[in-house]
Amino acid sequence: MSGQLSANQRGHNVLAIAACCLGLGSLLFISVGMAGLLALPVRALIPLLLGTGCAVVLGAVGLKRIKANGQRGRGLAIAGCGAGAAGFLLVSVVVATLSSGL
């Protein structure tokens, strides 16, 4: 038997899974806050900026490792990057609006 794993034996990339969870979780938290169901103070938005930024970075690193190692999870990494970027943009607009006093 050769040293290579078959397609069924290769697991999903952990960074891609983390990026997807972090990005989608942040978007869920932002949408609940924007719907008025949860009062989000400005100090709660700063960790969201970090979380969404981390989702983008983890997704990008995950994509690179998936390509290099032939692992699974490309869609998860792309979803994490997209959700993280959308969340980062949304939170940065909200923080800029709240800090300007509008």
Q: What does the pLDDT read at residue 34? A: 72
Token output for 57: 């970075």
Answering whether pTM is above 0.85, one says no
Please report which confidence band the pLDDT of residue 93 belongs to, taking 50, 70 and 90 as the band edges: confident
**Which whole-number Å values give the CA distances from 5 to 10, 18, 76, 77, in the listed order?**
6, 23, 21, 21
Please report which confidence band the pLDDT of residue 7 belongs to, taking 50, 70 and 90 as the band edges: low
- Give the C-alpha separation, 43 to 91, whole Å: 12
pLDDT one-digit tens code per residue, 33-86: 777 755 667 777 788 888 999 999 999 999 999 999 989 999 999 999 999 999
